[in-house]
Structure 1
Amino acid sequence: MSRDLLLSIVFVLGLSVTLTHGRARADQPADTAAANDRSVDGKASESQVLAQRLPWTQSRLQGSPDPPLPFQTQRVFPKLTFQSPMKIIDLPGRNRRLVLERAGRMVTFDSVDDPDTFDVALDLQAHLDVNGDERIASIRDMTLDPNFPDNGYLYCVWAIQPHEVDGGTRVSRYQLDDQQVPSIDPETRLDIISYPSGDHIGASLCFADDGLLWITTGDGSLPFPPDIHKTAQNLGDLRGKVLRIDVRDATVDQPYQVPAENPFVDLAGARPEVYAFGIRNGFRSAIDPSTQDLWVADVGWERCELIHRIQKGGNHGWSLVEGPFPVDPDQPAGPGEIIEPAIVMQRNEAQSVTGGVFVPASSNLNPAGFADEPDAGHRGHYVFGCFMNGGIWTADVSSDGNVEVTKACESGLRIIGFANTTLNASTSGRSDVLVVDYGGGGIYRMIPSDESATQFDVDQFPRRLSETGLFSDLTTLSPNPGVAAYHPRATMNRDGASAQRVFGIPGDGKIAARQRFGQYVYPEGTVFANTISRDVITDGGVTKRVRVETQILAFDGLNWDPYSYRWDDEQQDATLVDATGDRRQLTVPDVRLGKRAYTHQFGSRSQCLVCHHVYNLGALSFRPDNLTGTPTSAVGDSDGFDHWSQLVDAGYVEPFKAKIDLAMVNPHDPSADLELRARSYLEMNCAACHRPAGGSTAAIRVQWGNPMDQTEMLNATPLQGGFGLDDPKVVVPGHPQRSVLMYRTATLGPGRMPKLVAHEPDFAGAKLLWDWIESMEPAEVPEPKFVDDDLANSSLTNAMLKWNRLIRTDASQSAPQAKAWYAASRDPAVRGLFESWIPVEQRHSRVGDAPDAEALLAIQGDADRGKLWFTQSSTAQCRGCHRITGNDPLIGPSLEKVGTKFPPRDLLDQLLNPSRVIDPKWQTHLILTVDGTVITGLRIQEDAKQWTIRSADGRDHVILIDDIDSHQIQTQSLMPAGLCASMTPNELADLVAFLSSLR
């Protein structure tokens, strides 16, 4: 999404960081549509006595257990909040500071440490309204004349609406008077230079030591198609350029002069003001005081963010290329070779770059080693940030070669600009780097992370559950005042474990659910906690229920931070698990085996974010349509809440204004509707991934409330193979034995789902899904349901029928039959169906979800066996997307000569971690259309009018450019993680050997 479109959205809607959590939301779940006579915003009946909310004051879940980055941000001028601020600047000689607001106001305030008021110096919009002929779109930047103390001149760049008005973007000069509270007479306006208004107008202004004014512009285009007017390479157009002009003797008749040294003054057809070209949207610029080099932050298009060290007459690439990536190389190019950017930030690091200032030697940051003193010969550090994620980086630009970039800070702000300024008594006259927060309207400064305070924060993060402030008594798991338990209807399967759920909100903040499910506003400091308990068999043979893990999600105002706490054997307390996760070996009762070994996996923090991503914020089960239990007569904080209306009455949440027409049910309640039970089960166990932008490569969309004909399940061709089923589809109505969804739920073998959380098939859930699919009206005559007992040669479809019979048979009878099928079959898909009846120690070893790469590399693979597995095995899913030869792959690159390109170690890493490094050609594109449709896949064709996106199911979607509302490059590969988990280590070693042989 373009910077300018983002600014417009945030400006119009008035959204804060807490509302969007620093990210634009693309999902729009469908409204539900069946009858339920209770609206969630209704008050509880008079007979209900609900305990009112108490304040939660004991929370200690702030900060992080991990060492922080070297710098942090600190609010300055806390009594002042500005409306979409764009820039802050000191006013030398006036003892005032000026803040530029997007809507056209310029406000000033005293240069004191804690000002409590500001004054409007100029409201540009009000002035335009007087004229009645123009409406301001935005004002972008401001700079002061080098002789400002004497003449009071300041320059701003601003634009009017609508787009593409000739002369609609202007650089204008105003004059600030020298009164104690200064103001600007609008009649002092002198328009210096103009170019057409548009989506990308840039822009930034700065003066060099020689007194010349630098101006950056944008290409003027909307994001799609890129650079539609082809301005950036056209020297006859001011857009997409860096301009250099002389405004020292500006008059109405001649507002600027062109320096004779400009590179294109003698080139026919070129605008002489142009100093460099090939810029997409030069948003902020800065001059290196040591070299007078101009550095321009250039907001990227799709693949990366760019920062240029501007060169005289330089072609900086756009829109021939976007940094290292081609865009439109066939268009007419300007003169000269393309100059590579000094800094390229990949989209997983930054999504909308904001430049940038150079830190002077007098900076307060220097004592932390941020920049060297001038006598050390250092040329300074450049600081820049990201508007979208609030990250701040430093770049060492002390050489003409590679620029070293270091992550400096996670601010959580909508960074729209930086400034060097001198705060008064608080800094003893030393310079500060200020950060302007567009979203929250505040001004911050960067400060070194105080070593003692930093260590205190890290040390004080609760390492034990008893220290978190959630519970008053861990023996009974009683929550502290202000922390409440809740009881959703549908929950996730965790291999039979149970969960006790609580949440807490500091202060008096409330959770607000928007009109559509999945859109929530959470107060900073909100915490959700699940305590997982399961039955285990002790060394003495006694079965008892023990707490194993407490999972916590803590909202820091921008991100949800996941933590796990491991309960001790004495059940007295739980200890924080390392970020990489952990395992605990248990013995658990099993209805088929009597008992079995079980590995409880404490997920890594990155694994937690697989489900709790930007489109699944907070606790997945905490939602109005899942908190619809029958309200009891006396529900309080200690007993927990069953219904959203109880939470409203108690003061924890805002009313949900929309009527809930379809409430979720307990999937295991036999009295409930069968389809509602199945859909509730799929929502809690599958929909986190299998939804638009959920990260799954399959096309199915099982989220709650999505009508069945829009789930992409019924009679849909499975993308990743049918595993040997007869005429397989994702769901075949009336025929669960041919439904890939059913097989994946039932098996422990290849293709097993889910990949995380549960590690054994959920037989209760599998029975539910089988009965649901079987109850559907078939599109064909029902097949005879028989079981052929030819164990060794059974088809997978036949084995599915046998499996269904066995799960409904007493364990004493089913176990011997299942073991016989497992032993007789040579098909891994068939064996996987019956593996649940096999003791863990007798099962085939599998790669699993936490593989040891070094151990796998140590296995001597057989290339011939690997080829046989790739080409013939019913469980091999690779060939559905990749071809061994040829240049016409489905949705993945050809594997021809892949062994020449990558050594075995890299091949294995790509198989185990497909999203770690993604070739730009194979990046996944997420498209949100104007009608709310979300499409993800590979972009296989594009022109000026339309794109063709090939989704993970192999289908091509033609999308008109005019129908694209927003577009993102995803950081997840279409090749899903975990594909190798069900393979044996030898199978994976054979596959790597085969791929290595392709030369």
Structure 2
Amino acid sequence: MSQRSRFRPTGGPRRWGVVGVLALLGLSVWFGVRDEAGFRVVVASQPDDHRDVVPSFVMTAQWLKDEGATPPDWSRIDSSATIAGLGRLQAAWDQAAWWLALEDDADQQTRAVWSLTLRAKESGPSLRLTIGPDGSLSTFLRPSAEAAETAETFPTTVTVQTTLNRRVIRLPWTHLARLGPRPVAGSLWEIETGPASSPAVRVGSIRFEIDPAALADRPRFQPPPRLLGTPEPPLPYISEPAYPNLKLIFPIAVTRQPAGGLILATTEEGPYGPTALVRFRDDPDVAEFETLLPRSLGETVYGIAFHPNWAVNGFVYLGGNLPRPEQNTNVTRVVRYRLDPTPPYAFHPDSALEIIAWPSNGHNGGDLAFGPDGFLYVTSGDGTSDSDTNLRGQDLTHLTAKVLRIDVDRPGPDGQPYSIPPDNPFVHRPGVRPETWAYGLRNPWRLSFDPKTGHLWVGNNGQDLYEQIYFVRKGENYGWSLVEGSHRFYPERTQGPDPITGPTLEHPHSEARSLTGGLVYYGDAFPDLRGFYIYGDYSTGRIWAAKHDGTRVVEHRELADTPLQITGFGLDSRGELLIADHLTGLQRLVPNPHRGRNSEFPTRLSETGLFESLPDHRLNPHLIEYTVNSPLWSDNAEKRRAFGIPDGQRIVHTSRNGWNLPDGSITVKSFALQIAEDGDSTEARRQWIETRVMVKTQNEWSAYTYAWNDAQTEAFLVDKAGTERVYRVVDAETGRVFNQTWHYPSRVECMVCHSRAANFVLGLCDLQFNRPIVDSNGVVGTENQMARLERWGLFEGINSHDELHKAIQAETRSLGLEGAAATARLDALLASAHPGDGRGFLLRPHHRTKLVDPYDSTADLETRARSYLHTNCAVCHVEAGGGNARMQLDFPTPTAQARILDEVPSHHTFNLPDARLIAPGHPERSVLLHRVASRGENSGAMPPLASSLVDRRAVELLRTWIVSMERPAAGE
């Protein structure tokens, strides 16, 4: 190349070679699984003076079998261009590195530093690279438009080829792994380039699209509309915004000001954190609010209560929680403020007076209301974020886990700003906090009084399996943490001095998972709901109504199944219901326009559209069939699995639990048994007996099951309560013929295992899904299941860079590593961090943690055992999973930290000698093994659902594992 080709006259128009720029940018997003397939890079816009720029460019790359330093075959890669001032650029990448080939005159020994900037238009991050005269590459990352750049210079390998000075630079992925970000499908990036000594010039914007060649086999699933409904008739109400133009974010509490037509609410900046107290006009068209207390005060306010005599004294009370660094704890407290009872209703932040406070670090309670007696009632939780670890539920010497009752109009004898009502139930009992009205509550979330009857209602968040509503009476004990509602929890703990009263209403976690207490409604909009206590659930969005006659519940009904995250209920200035939704703001109920219509939900499997042919068990071709690494034990049943997400939607990837699938997603799993051909004949035939379908609508999963007929031509929707059937089956291992009872689960039972702790989908997670494709004939393919989904562009939110760094940071902190030692550990962990057969996965799938087949005798013994426990037990036995033992059986938790080795059982020991959950070296003392080996009522069988037969191979596996463990030395 001549000198003239490299430098333009001063003042002349710059024409930067965009083809080379696009090639360089396309390197970092290769998703193709075959040669000559990948991301399509399309010019979205370009300056008018760049008419010589090609309108589109497809980056192709050769996949090298050798992950060493052999450069690509440049003749196969159409990704080169002449860039003014730089020369000729060619670019490619393989499994190990980026490759850049830079050509210049052999006699030219110097070159200006060249700068290339790539900026994500939507999200703001930018990546700037500078190429030095010696071929060195520096990278400058700006995570956002507001952030400062961080820089790193990489050593490169440069070779000179032929008579031209061709510099081939190999940039390992391990270097770029520290920097990110990388373009993703659909992202729009702007490009600026030029010599570093001159102002950069914008040469265009490009959008990344998946190359059609990589999508040739991608399924295009459309969820059958009938499956997005429910088998039951539509509920009577739906929700709609109460103030469509008012942008309140993350509201928690809402109430009406007694005068002035105004509403007060507390709002967070994010899902958790300090709140602001705001106020606005009760007008459907309101668009603005005023802030009475800012978030900067650091307090999270849960409840608001106006004094009964507010029109005279102007007192309003707030219940909340805030840090007290000087006490090394958080406190829940009640604070009184003055809010003028006459226009303009001025609020006085400087009038704050703390009435009562107590240490509390989770399960705080903090709601409050004045009773018809004029006293203030306040809720308190057990003060922890676990299973009552401080044993406060039955402890009457503290203010926690209770409903408190205080007199805020009369100071106490010791100068405290409240006194104890003389008729409080424990006022004369020694050692009891006299403020106590009732106790034994885990996390009472909302309390309210019926304004006509004076009845006190409290919603209580359960722990593992159940949520409760209590009709609270003076002096009662509600049992936490001996019980969770009406069910045993830690019965061996010491009970308080009073008998346990059960809940008034109770919901299993298949129906509700974080109850929000409500209020008794007496408005005019819904006459049929007058006198009903209306409450809801944060996690499912469901809303119920119950009527109580003072002795018992006389009516209970479900009102609505909404997409809301319900944090509280309130009344507007007309006495109509308001709902605080953590997602969208304030909502209200309105009649369901579909009320009264018959359900069109398919009662026959053939009507679902999920099968192309039922007799052949041939699925809809647009469903994605898959297998798992560690199958759940299902009483010897053979299973086939598939799922579908709506075309155009993507899966939000998570690295530990189930992935987040979009609304409209459907999962399908069929079960088959080996049925005896005739009587006691050992000749068997495979017979499909059940197909379970899960559907996600309104951000909530629902489960349905269909039972197959013997002719294998149809399957019929099972009633919501489930059913059972006896089959004559042949044991494949022993040839034994016996009667097997098959349980078709209720819709509630399905959601016990498909729990929130597991993120609802069990097989659709990295641990299970990370394996080679297996077709319907059992043939193992060469492509990884996760890699195929990524090639189709079905993943969103994969950020292995961040995942990796979080893991590294956690590990270095735990090891106490700093400085050079931490950097060395980073380099070691990044050694395998390149796309490989995972493309966008920074860690290739075969380098990511995954389960193994527990029955594969060639695999590591402990990995097999832990895989079995993860699949069959960890849906409950993880934090907040529903199993009320403290063990953590999910696979990522190391065995030494799983709280199973030499741990005394929290519950039944089954008369085992010196029982432990797992007694290393002693299977005869290990309760975990006993439970897996048991079936039948009161046997302690685990898992407690979905199985009536012992998994003999699993029992032998766990027995061998326990025997292999080193026994503790005598005296330990």
Residue 490 of structure 1 is matched in structure 2 by 630
Quote the offset at 1:118 in angstroms.
3.0
Aligned residue in 1 for 2:760: 618
**Amino acid of the residue matched to residue 118 of structure 1?**
A
Change (3 A) 1:461 1:692: same
Q: Match of 2:725, SS? A: strand
| Contact map agreement 1:53 1:652 (CA 8 A) in 2 | no
- Secondary structure of 2:572's counterpart equals strand
The match for 2:668 among 529, 544, 562 is 529
> Contact 1:220 / 1:240 at 8 angstroms: preserved in 2?
no
Pairs within 5 Å for 1:933-944: none
Instruction: Measure, in 2, the Cα distance between the counterparts of 1:729 and 1:153.
Output: 55
After TM superposition, the structure 1 stretch with the greater mean CA deviation from structure 2, 103-112 or 149-158, is: 149-158
Displacement of 1:551: 1.6
State yes or no: 1:502 paired with 2:642: yes
In structure 1, the residue matched to 2:165 is none
Counterpart of 1:366 (choices 512, 519, 527) is 527
Partner of 1:949: none
Taking the TM superposition and a 5 Å limit, the aligned residue runs for 1:278-427 are 284=446, 286-290=448-452, 293=454, 295=456, 297=458, 307=470, 344-345=504-505, 354-360=516-522, 362-367=523-528, 370-371=529-530, 380-385=531-536, 392=543, 394-399=545-550, 401-402=551-552, 404=554, 406-409=556-559, 411=561, 413-421=564-572
The one-letter amino acid paired with 1:566 is A
Q: How far apart are 1:622 and its partner, in Å?
A: 2.5
SS at match of 2:763: coil
CA contact (8 A) 2:321 2:333 kept: yes
The question of whether the paired residues in 1 share the 8 Å contact of 2:337 and 2:352 is answered with: yes
Contact 1:587/1:596, CA 8 A, preserved across alignment = yes
Identify the range of structure 1 (469-478 vs 145-154) with the bigger mean alpha-carbon deviation.
Answer: 145-154
Q: Distance between the aligned counterparts of 1:220 and 1:742, measured in 2?
A: 33
Asked if residue 462 in structure 1 is aligned to residue 602 in structure 2, the reply is: yes
CA distance in 2 between partners of 1:204 and 1:713 (Å): 38
Contact 1:550–1:565 (CA under 8 A) maintained in structure 2: yes
Q: Name whichever of 569-578 and 586-595 sits farther off.
A: 586-595
- Name the structure 2 match of 1:35: none
1:364-414 CA distance string (max 9 Å, x none): 3324xx33xxxxxxxx34434566776655454555x55646354465754
Indicate which of 214, 222, 235 corresponds to 1:56. 222
475 and 105 in structure 1: CA distance in 2 versus 1, 3 angstrom threshold: same
**Cα separation, 2, equivalents of 1:548 and 1:532:** 6
| TM-score (ref. length: structure 2) | 0.53
> How big is each residue's C-alpha offset from its partner over 1:862-895, in whole Å with a ceiling of 9 and x where there is no partner?
xxxxxxxxxxxxxxxxxxxxxxxxxxxxxxxxxx
Q: For residue 289 of structure 2, give the secondary structure of its aligned residue in structure 1.
A: strand
CA distance in 2, matches of 1:504, 1:746: 37
**Separation in 1, partners of 2:950, 2:444:** 54
Instruction: Name which one, 1 or 2, has greater alpha-carbon Rg.
Output: 2
Counterpart position of 2:249: 83
How far did 1:173 drift? 2.0
1:435 partnered with 2:604: no
Alpha-carbon offset, residue 486 of structure 1: 1.8
Which of 716, 740, 761 is the equivalent residue of 1:575? 716
2:357 paired residue number: 196
> Does structure 2 conserve the Cα–Cα contact (< 8 Å) formed by 1:145 and 1:152?
yes
Change in CA separation of 1:339 and 1:502 when aligned onto 2, cut-off 3 Å:
closer
Distance verdict in 2 for CA 1:661–1:96, change over 3 Å:
same
Q: Which has the higher contact order (CA 8 A, sep 6+)?
A: 1
Question: Structure 2: how far apart are the matches of 1:118 and 1:683?
Answer: 50
Q: Where does residue 101 of structure 1 map in the other structure?
A: 267
* Cα distance change, pair 520–628 in 1 and its aligned pair in 2 (3 A): closer
Q: Which is strand-richer, 1 or 2? A: 2
Secondary structure in 2 matching 1:622: coil
Q: Secondary structure at the match of 2:266?
A: strand
Q: Residue in 2 aligned with 1:120? A: 289
Query: One-letter code of the match for 2:556?
Result: T
CA deviation vs aligned residue, 1:92-141 (integer Å, no higher than 9, x gap):
8866644332544344556555x4x7323115126xx5xxxxx3312333
Count residues in correspondence: 670
Matched position secondary structure for 2:595: helix
* In structure 1, C-alpha distance between the alignment counterparts of 2:746 and 2:894, rounded to whole Å: 34
Listed as ranges, the matches of 1:772-921 within 5 Å are 773=960
Does residue 241 in structure 1 map to residue 405 in structure 2?
yes
Deviations 1:904-956 (A, max 9, x none): xxxxxxxxxxxxxxxxxxxxxxxxxxxxxxxxxxxxxxxxxxxxxxxxxxxxx
Q: What is the correspondence of 1:250-265 to structure 2 with a 5 Å cutoff?
A: none
Q: Helix, strand or coil: the match of 1:56?
A: coil
Kept in 2: contact 1:160–1:169 (CA 8 A): no
Task: Return closer, same or farther for 1:125/1:512 CA change in 2, 3 Å cut-off.
Answer: same
Q: Given residue 174 of structure 1, which amino acid in structure 2 is its aligned partner?
A: L
Structure-2 separation of matches of 1:86 and 1:153: 21
**Structure 1 residue 463: Cα displacement:** 1.1
The equivalent of 1:643 in structure 2 is: 785
Q: Is the 8 A contact 1:262 1:275 kept in 2?
A: no
Residues 1:155 and 1:618: Cα distance change in structure 2 (over 3 Å): closer
Distance in 2 between the 1:471 and 1:546 partners? Answer: 17
Tell me by how many angstroms 1:172 deviates: 0.7
Counterpart of 1:492 in structure 2: which amino acid? Answer: L
Contact 1:307–1:343 (Cα < 8 Å) also in 2: yes
Q: Return the offset for 1:623.
A: 2.0
1:139 aligned onto 2:301? yes
Gaps of 5+ in 1: 1-38, 130-134, 248-253, 269-273, 332-337, 372-379, 424-430, 781-956, 958-999
Instruction: Note the alpha carbon deviations across 1:337-375, whole angstroms, 9 max, x for none.
Output: x99999755685988765443322x433324xx33xxxx
Instruction: Give the whole-Å Cα distance in 1 for the aligned partners of 2:307 and 2:901.
Output: 67
Instruction: Give the secondary structure class of the aligned counterpart of 1:61.
Output: helix
* Structure 1 match to 2:206: none
User: Structure 2 regions of 5+ residues with no counterpart?
Assistant: 1-176, 186-209, 269-273, 429-433, 804-842
CA contact 1:513–1:520 (8 Å) conserved in 2: yes
CA contact (8 A) 1:690 1:696 kept: yes
Equivalent in the alignment of 1:840: none
Residue aligning to 2:688: 547
Q: CA deviation at 1:723?
A: 11
The answer on whether the counterparts of 2:438 and 2:472 sit within 8 Å (CA) in structure 1 is no
Distance change (3 Å), C-alpha of 1:94 and 1:141: same
| SS of residue in 2 equivalent to 1:463 | coil
Match of 1:492, SS? coil
Q: Offset at 1:615?
A: 3.8
The one-letter code sitting in structure 2 at the alignment partner of 1:122 is T
Q: Secondary structure at the match of 1:549?
A: strand
Judge conservation of contact 1:172–1:193 (CA < 8 Å) in 2.
no
1:607 Cα deviation after fit: 4.8
| Alignment partners' CA distance in 2, 1:56 and 1:561 | 18
Q: 1:576 deviation in Å?
A: 0.9
- How far has the Cα of 1:583 moved from its partner? 1.6
Give the CA deviation at 1:85: 1.2
Query: Percent of aligned positions with the same letter in both sequences?
Result: 22
Question: Contact 2:669–2:693 at 8 Å: present in 1 too?
Answer: yes
Determine which of 842, 845, 851 is the counterpart of 1:664: 851
1:139 is paired with a residue whose SS is: strand
CA offset at residue 620 of structure 1?
Answer: 2.9
Mapped contact 2:772–2:785 kept (Cα < 8 A):
yes
Q: Is the 8 A contact 1:216 1:282 kept in 2?
A: no
Q: Structure 2 matches for 1:12-23, cutoff 5 A?
A: none
Using the alignment, how far apart are the partners of 1:490 and 1:219 within structure 2? Answer: 40
Deviation at 1:422, TM superposition (A): 6.8
Distance 1:177 1:86 in 2: 26
Q: TM-score, normalised by structure 1?
A: 0.52
2:735 & 2:403 partners in 1: Cα distance?
Answer: 73
Q: 1:585 to 1:209 in 2, by over 3 A?
A: closer
